[in-house]
Structure 1
């Protein structure tokens, strides 16, 4: 049974938390004690309904304000598939939370209020989903019950979003009209919209193809730990532990260690802490955690990247990237940060802000000297040591990076690496 990780995003009060609650409730994925808790919390309501949003709005401040602040994760499964739901905040000041939540998602549900159509946050979240390379977008046009389940309203919003998707070069977009409050087209097809002949939301989530999202071409292995047991029987043992982030490795493959450029071949592949003689693994692939043994001693440490020699990434000290700034302190030309790509970490300085991206018009503004919280921009960084990476569009696993404040050790920026500057 495979796993689909998806995020819900949209403007404030579009009904993201209610949609997730309805999805869990109607698919019978709520534990009895959870249901009792939200029934107690909403006891005495005039309409006698249960507030399903309370299933995801877990913080006290979220309950008091009636909004989602933090990213919430929920897990459920059906006979067809396992799911991880990421509920992202809708307020503009929490856009950075959406970036962190969406970074590993394979699908994004962008909610649109049927009464309001495409708004600023719809554009912002769609842009972020596009930059993060999320391959599947579902435009869930919610609150159709408040527009009398009008087909014309649904069609107009589809046309609005299609223009947006064209600008962002997003190809795989699915449009679903629904009412999270009433359950229309969430788990079961709605009788109120006979004009809609597509799938309900859960049906689409169960059937969307996700196997093509695994990169099996570019073999990448960031070294997390060097294993060197000090025992008599294993005195010649040296292994390099980590997780294969993409591609596959086979015994006998010629490999290159980056950024040093040293070469060797894979002598053995160890899995689950057992000796190679017990496992006899001849190959391993993403996302397996393994220990690689090489034919000869090579100077390797944490942060190095092992790749197949016939599939090389970019190695450079000058990097071009798209940045989402996530700190209240301004990002300025000349500032210095720690840059982390996979397990590798090095100091870097901001050489240039090529342009700032307007989230409403998608226009590029040049000549910008600083960025504020939640700003998006194309930047150029200079690193103290060479870093190894792939363009984010080709390989999300080795094309994503973060900026870390040197003094506070706080993550202050999310990067989608483009290439050598």
Structure 2
């Protein structure tokens, strides 16, 4: 018999348990590491245990796994990612595979990247848009050169959150000492990259231990989070620290009364009434209208594809950049950058390439400065960068280039190099900063050669001091490319 409720007490239903707040922003992550460390199997296990595999996919997976089941009788999870026939035949990952899954707290977009050295370019592609890297290490093999290469590329591309997944821990009888040794070695290497946010997890992707479900039964010595718990608490990259950026892809002129400049906002925001500058010309105008495919907008932010209408007729062409006046990118003829060589022919000193950044394509001369030695973490001088090399270079342009440092804006700070003879993409790179366009070279006769913009040179030559000693000066007018060549040859003699 239930107890009677007093007359002065109001019965209310029990409160429902609070539901976890779901983060509306998906986290983008990559899996990377050396060959056969279990990247595809790990993602397949993630998809399987988070119920992201549809019934028809599960049936196809079981059918395709005939004869490939493991000792646990489970299907080959890697087949959920490896869709190319060559990948299935060889049991390797070649192309980048993107998959979507979610939990009650968050949604995720994961890129499975290849571990083979010859496909490093595909790994770099996957890392270029990621917020977090899951770096897999075989517990039996430890940290390898390709492990270091992938970690370095991910770091250069701005990834600061790493999960060190020490996989196949079951094949070492869940050896804690081995796990601690690998963790210590990687953290020391990561410090040289400036990476401090590292979560190390011992796991077995095959058995699903510490992936979605806890593996504490097999590893009572590990009290940390599972992989999914770590991903749920990871942060999405913060917004870019630059002002408004729009790289013009097309000038829209459907009639005499309309002229718009189309592109995708690469940073910041814009609204009607804002003053903007067109680079490289430096002309200024005001925004009167922001148009998309179906409506007129009150504002636009990074990622929006828009047509911008200005209040005056200005000369704007494909490849120009429309920017906010109070926060402008760097312009100049010479920039420092870091690159990853992607083709067997590598990068030759002094050779001229096409550089493509956004919708802008320019001629550039690339001078290798140094190359990263992965084993020691030191930068050694280099005259040429071969395939998969990570190097620092100097970019010298024929005409003014426009960049933000990559750390401030990924879209306007990144580029690819294209071989003009083969049209192959031979490198991907990130701008680290602008080099001075004015350079002093001291020769044996105590003279100084200055390479100056034409307008600045005219001002100096018109000064009173220059007029007094003009008979001591030799003025040579030359193009930017000729000046760059003179600087390069003179610098090599110093």
TM-score normalised per structure 2: 0.79
Who is 1:197 aligned against? 223
Q: Does 1:375 align with 2:396?
A: no
Q: Does 1:362 align with 2:380?
A: no
Of structures 1 and 2, the larger Rg is shown by: 2
Equivalent position SS for 1:184: coil
Separation in 1 of the partners of 2:384 and 2:193?
25
Equivalent position SS for 1:361: coil
Q: For residues 377-405 of structure 1, give each alpha carbon's deviation from its aligned partner in whole angstroms, at most 9, with x where no partner exists.
A: 11112222211111112221211100112
Separation in 1 of the partners of 2:134 and 2:85?
25
What are the residue-to-residue correspondences of 1:75-90 with 2, within 5 Å? 75-90=100-115
Shift of 1:203: 2.0
Q: Does 1:336 align with 2:349?
A: no
Q: Does 1:387 align with 2:408?
A: no
Equivalent position SS for 1:245: strand
Equivalent position SS for 2:182: helix
Separation in 2 of the partners of 1:25 and 1:378?
42
Who is 1:35 aligned against? 58
Q: Taking structure 1 as reference, are residues 137 and 284 closer, same or farther at Cα in structure 2, changes over 3 Å only?
A: same
Who is 1:263 aligned against? 284
Equivalent position SS for 2:312: coil
Shift of 1:32: 2.1
Q: Taking structure 1 as reference, are residues 46 and 94 closer, same or farther at Cα in structure 2, changes over 3 Å only?
A: closer
Structure 1 residues without counterparts, runs of 5 or longer: none
Separation in 2 of the partners of 1:14 and 1:385?
46
Who is 1:101 aligned against? 126
Equivalent pairs, count: 409
Which of 327, 336, 339 is the aligned partner of 1:323? 339
Who is 1:26 aligned against? 49
Q: Does 1:59 align with 2:84?
A: yes
| Greater relative contact order, per chain length (Cα 8 Å cut-off, separation 6+) | 1
Shift of 1:46: 7.1
Bigger drift between 199-208 and 240-249 goes to: 199-208
Separation in 2 of the partners of 1:135 and 1:256?
33
8 Å Cα contact 1:353-1:379 kept in structure 2: yes
Shift of 1:41: 2.3
Structure 2 residues without counterparts, runs of 5 or longer: 1-23, 436-494
Separation in 2 of the partners of 1:340 and 1:303?
10
TM-score normalised per structure 1: 0.93
Separation in 2 of the partners of 1:78 and 1:385?
50
Who is 2:442 aligned against? none
Separation in 1 of the partners of 2:209 and 2:304?
40
Who is 2:490 aligned against? none
Task: Spell out structure 1 runs of 4+ moving beyond 3 A.
Answer: 44-47
Q: For residues 228-272 of structure 1, give each alpha carbon's deviation from its aligned partner in whole angstroms, at most 9, with x where no partner exists.
A: 122xxxx42221111111111122222111111111121222233
What are the residue-to-residue correspondences of 1:154-233 with 2, within 5 Å? 154-190=179-215, 191-210=217-236, 212-215=237-240, 217-230=242-255
Who is 1:113 aligned against? 138
Shift of 1:362: 1.9
Q: Taking structure 1 as reference, are residues 46 and 118 closer, same or farther at Cα in structure 2, changes over 3 Å only?
A: closer
Separation in 2 of the partners of 1:294 and 1:96?
40
